[in-house]
Amino acid sequence: MTILLSFIGTGRLYDTVYLLGGQEFHTPIIQEALCRYYKPEKVILFVTKGARSANLPKIRSVLSSFVVSEVDIPDGKCEEEIWEIFSIVTKSVSEKDTILFDITHGFRSLPFISLLSIAYLKEIRSISLSGVVYGAFEAGERIKTDSGVEISRAPVFDLTGFVSIFDWMAGVRSFLHHADAGLLNEQVKRISDEEFCKTQNRSGTKPLLNLLGPLSTYAEAVRLSRPVEAVSVASLIYDRFPQATEAIESYTPVLNPLLSKISDIGNFAVSESDVLTSELIQKQRNLIQVQLDMGLYQQAVTLGREWMVTVLLHAAGSGREWLLKNTRFAAENALTGAEKLLSRQNNKEQSDNFHQNSRFLEWFCTCDSWKEMVGIWSRTSQLRNELAHCGMNSDSQKVQTLLKQVKNFPESMDRYYTLIMEYSK
């Protein structure tokens, strides 16, 4: 249902010509102009005690052909009354209603309450927002009617764009803190559709549309622990972001500082994501930190263990083969073999010839700090397994214990990297 929500004031209602969408509506009642233009299925008037006696009878009479209901609200003279107004407004609509909010006669804190109510209702009731409008009587020009009476010809401002800032903020926050580009996609497609309705093309918003694909891919790569694809698509984001910024400048310049936060993704970009270099290793390490900061603990630990295999290949001079399945398998076997070798040594058991089991094992075990590195690998593997099995065993770790290990994980990774790279020099 499409509903017009409007506040009734106590001030004098001046004869006015309201300008809406290229049309003129001659009436002292802004709600009449809005009803004639938007044709809502229902009108809800929020009325204070003073407004009920001052202006409601006249407004009621003018809107007699529309479905109108009145809802009493307090004056909003104290904090308790403000909260009461907020509660009344948000309870006045139903799930998935389409709302047109008129704040022309919103006095004191009512416009502020209106904006908060909209944000709240979109989240809680899944409403659709048709518009937020304000009859700008003071901004009108003075004209004379046919009878020679001087009145105001006033524009009706559409303030919906200001409300959309909440949606953009939510989209950027969701992307940066949760690797979810869904809300940003919705906002870009919304303004692109608006452009198409006006111009029958999408040339102005095309740079933003071109940015959506890489942003979505990057977000999913972070969530799915795909570092090669993440750093590769980060290069596309870096290349396309300047044009997208220019597009935002044309539509909603106020959003540029907000969206500029996304440009930091360019820091993960590398020219060749399949060539293993120290730079790429550091980019992947930074990506693991991003996952940890987002609370993607299982993904971060899983990627961290793979990163340790990658570091071994780089240190051992096999960086050109780092994405080959058999090479990675051999490097992982070397770390696992070293783990078994250390266990046998600690238990004073007879050692088999583990050095023949992996092309990297002998090299690794000649490192001065190989035992410390094996300990880090072993703890990482145990942590990965603990997370992967979801606590489905009788001796699983408690959440707080597990979380403490995850928090200490970055320090262990960095120690591993320092030790192995010192040996490779």
Q: For 371-416, how does the pLDDT look when each residue is reduced to its tens digit (9 = 90+)?
A: 999 999 999 999 999 999 998 988 888 999 999 999 999 999 999 9
pLDDT of residue 145: 73
Name the band, by pLDDT with cuts 50, 70 and 90, for residue 351.
low
Compute the mean pLDDT over every residue in the chain, rounded to the nearest whole number: 88
Q: d(Cα 215, Cα 181) in Å, to the nearest integer? A: 7
pLDDT of residue 149: 77
% of the chain surpassing 70 pLDDT = 96
Q: d(Cα 180, Cα 192) in Å, to the nearest integer? A: 20
Q: d(Cα 116, Cα 327) in Å, to the nearest integer? A: 57
Average pLDDT over residues 63-89: 90
Q: Burial of 54 by CB count in 10 Å (0-12 exposed, 13-18 middle, 19+ buried)?
A: middle
Take residue 160 and report the two structure tokens written for it. Answer: 């919906």
Take residue 128 and report the two structure tokens written for it. Answer: 């659709």
pLDDT of residue 121: 86
Annotation: CATH topology of 2-158: Rossmann fold (3.40.50)
pLDDT at 13 over 70: yes
% of the chain surpassing 90 pLDDT = 52
Q: What residue ranges do the domains of the chain occupy? A: 2-158, 161-274, 281-425
Q: For 119-175, how does the pLDDT look when each residue is reduced to its tens digit (9 = 90+)?
A: 888 888 888 888 899 888 877 788 777 777 788 888 999 888 888 888 888 888 999
**Contact 299/291 with Cβ under 8 angstroms?**
yes
**Which of 164-173, 206-215, 305-314, 394-403 has the largest mean confidence?**
305-314
Q: Does the pTM of the predicted model rise above 0.85? A: no
Nearest to 233, CA basis, from 273, 260, 282: 273
Average pLDDT over residues 326-341: 93
Q: d(Cα 174, Cα 211) in Å, to the nearest integer? A: 16
Contacts of 250 (CB under 8 A, 6+ apart): 204
Take residue 365 and report the two structure tokens written for it. Answer: 């075990």
In terms of DSSP H, where are the helices of 260-357?
Answer: 278-293, 297-315, 325-346
Q: d(Cα 318, Cα 328) in Å, to the nearest integer? A: 10
**What is the greatest pairwise CA distance in the chain?**
112
Name the band, by pLDDT with cuts 50, 70 and 90, for residue 352.
low
In terms of DSSP H, where are the helices of 143-226?
Answer: 160-178, 182-199, 206-223
Take residue 376 and report the two structure tokens written for it. Answer: 């880090």
Name the band, by pLDDT with cuts 50, 70 and 90, for residue 350.
low
Q: d(Cα 174, Cα 183) in Å, to the nearest integer? A: 7
Q: d(Cα 41, Cα 4) in Å, to the nearest integer? A: 8
pLDDT at 353 over 60: no
Q: d(Cα 361, Cα 291) in Å, to the nearest integer? A: 30
pLDDT at 355 over 50: no
